[in-house]
Amino acid sequence: MNSTLSAGGIGVFVIYFVVVALYGYYVYNKKNKNQTNDSKSFFLAEGSLTWWAIGASIIASNISAEQFIGMSGEGFFAGIAVSVYEWLGAAVLIIVAIFFMPVYIKNKIYTMPQFLKTRYNGSVALIMSVFWIFLYVFINLTSILYLGALAINGLIGGDYFHVVMVCLAVFAILITLGGMRVIGYTDVIQVGVLIIGGLATTYMALTIVGEKFGLGSDAIAGFNVLLKEAPEHFHLMFAKPKAGASQMDINKYLILPAVGMYAAGQWISNLNYWGCNQYITQRALGADLQTARTGILFASLLKILMPVIVMLPGIVAYVLFKSGHIQLSGGKDNAYSAILGLLSPELKGLAAAALTAAIVASLAGKCNSISTIFTLDIYKKHINTVSSEKRMVWTGRITIVIAMVVAVLFTWNDLLGIGRAGGYTFVQKYTSYISPGVFATFILGMFWKRTNSLAAFTGIIFGFLISVFFNEFAVKVFGPETFLYTAFPNMDGKYEIPFFICLSWSFLITVLVMVCTSILGPKINPKAFELDAEMFRLKPSSIVMIVATMLLLIAIYARFW
């Protein structure tokens, strides 16, 4: 196993870096001078992103080290079932395009805290601004940096973890300082590199499987080997563990709890991520409705392809590990690196470029969202209300640098335990702590006119507290078995409720509390949004994209259910 890049591989990687840097510089200089210090141009690229740039940017920002490393790790451990994050995400993007974007765009919403201020009040917006910044810095930025550095470090020899981490951070800062327009258009290159490099890696990995099992360099034969050697890895549902179940089966169920996950938890998690998340919606909020909607539907189509790139290599690693063809040390999050170690030195350059593209695009997107929320929703509204456009842009840039420095400091020695928890599960679990309250506040605020500010404030705080209770204390208080849940012993012997089940009950209870609180107020809140059927009407091109996506999803679930 060659764990270093050849001169050719380094050349491929350098070409990627130079092309992205030069194109970003070109896009930045193409802006007229008045736009350079315009806050809406810097933070939102208002009106300047095309539908294909919006769709590509959404995917480039979403697919990062969390997926390449974390989802490959879960693919190694649990198999195709982990693809629910991607395939259900594709369905949720359709819902966001049809129902969420018209509400945002009609009401000229540019940030998620602005939505909360417009629909409720400034206190609710401020609370959530702090929540989001904390989440983006300490959960998202840290996990992307840690997993990205882990993967690329393994690819180039294993002795450069901290150097790689700093280089990724610096590259992301340079792109982010150019503003949302630069991020959006460089993401088109990033997603192209990501898809081409990712597919090439998966293809070569499958041909290696074919070779190792004596079937020649045939990717299809390699895939058939996976089906034969690991049939348990090709089911989208895990049965609820019965008495005497192995710890392996219990561990799988804890992260992907079968019907309970599909009943509510995954939908809530995905709807919150794709529909109520500054990091994602920011790409579309500066566009007109049809451009935004088409871009999101384009992203939905691309999402269906992602498990092939980020999950399937994990199953390849599992089969090769089980058959003794590769060694795997350091846990499941090293599965992708183990596969990359089998590639030719030249192809590793393309793989490294794909990984770097995914990591840098996500870091840049997160930093831009942190900067946008802090500058527009905290600094401008609560610190310096008369700030000039130029000062706001520079405040945003300073925020970008500070956020990245903090993330590097917390990731340097993995202070948050990302490696132990497993990268993808780490992000999903801790994000689920705030998802119930946030999504309940958004969905009721959009579509129920009676929801009031007290209900929103109560929902956000109560949703977080009830999530913490279910995840950390419910078993101690009520025991491992109730009509609400069944807890199982985790790898440490501690009883744990699957976090998607916790998420489901937390959301439902939060909605009930918010409804009861709102009933005490007027029947129609004066700040309620006006909705009409015309807002949700679809053009034929949108309908075609939706039907194509749904048919692909139906075919996938029919084959692997």
Q: Is residue 444, in this structure, part of any structural domain at all? A: no
Q: Measured between alpha carbons, how far is residue 212 from residues 321, 324, 383 in Å? A: 12, 10, 62
pLDDT at res. 25: 67
Q: Global pTM? A: 0.86
pLDDT at res. 423: 58
Closest CA to 491 of 258, 254, 321, 260: 254
pLDDT at res. 152: 80
For residue 131, the surrounding DSSP H or E stretch is helix 122-135
* Sequence-separated (6 or more) residues with CB below 8 Å from residue 125: 113, 114, 116, 117, 377, 381
* Sequence-separated (6 or more) residues with CB below 8 Å from residue 331: 73, 419, 422
In tens digits, the chain (561 residues) has pLDDT values of 445 556 666 676 677 777 777 777 677 676 544 445 566 666 665 556 789 888 888 887 777 766 777 788 889 988 999 898 899 999 999 999 999 999 999 998 888 888 999 999 988 889 888 888 988 898 888 888 888 888 788 777 667 888 889 988 998 888 888 776 777 777 777 778 778 888 888 999 999 999 999 888 899 999 999 999 999 999 888 888 888 888 888 988 888 888 888 888 889 989 998 999 877 787 788 788 999 999 999 999 999 999 999 899 999 999 999 998 888 776 777 788 788 878 877 777 777 777 787 788 788 888 888 998 899 889 888 888 888 888 888 898 899 999 999 999 998 887 777 766 555 667 766 777 888 999 999 999 999 999 999 999 999 999 999 999 998 899 999 999 999 999 999 888 899 999 889 999 999 999 999 999 999 888 888 899 998 888 999 999 999 999 999 999 999 999 888
Give me the CATH number covering residue 80: 1.20.1730.10
Phi, psi for 20 (deg, rounded to 5): -65, -45
Report the alpha-carbon distance of residue 64 to residue 1 in Å, rounded. Answer: 25
Report the alpha-carbon distance of residue 48 to residue 184 in Å, rounded. Answer: 9
Between CA 399 and CA 403, with CA 402 as vertex, the angle to 5 degrees is 85
* Sequence-separated (6 or more) residues with CB below 8 Å from residue 71: 82, 85, 86, 307, 310, 311, 314, 424
SS3 state at 486: strand
pLDDT at res. 34: 46
Report the alpha-carbon distance of residue 175 to residue 187 in Å, rounded. Answer: 10
Q: Report which DSSP code applies to 536.
A: G
Q: Is residue 455, in this structure, part of any structural domain at all? A: no
Q: Measured between alpha carbons, how far is residue 145 from residues 37, 151, 167, 408, 525 in Å? A: 29, 10, 10, 7, 43
pLDDT at res. 238: 83
As beta bridge partners, residue 446 has none
pLDDT at res. 511: 97
pLDDT at res. 229: 94
pLDDT at res. 44: 62
Amino acid at 393: V
Q: Is residue 362, in this structure, part of any structural domain at all? A: yes
Q: What is the CA radius of gyration of the chain?
A: 23
Q: Is residue 361, in this structure, part of any structural domain at all? A: yes
Domain hosting 155: range is 7-25+49-417
Q: Is residue 316, in this structure, part of any structural domain at all? A: yes
Q: Is residue 561, in this structure, part of any structural domain at all? A: no
Q: Is residue 215, in this structure, part of any structural domain at all? A: yes
Tally the domains of the chain. Answer: 1
Q: Is residue 525, in this structure, part of any structural domain at all? A: no
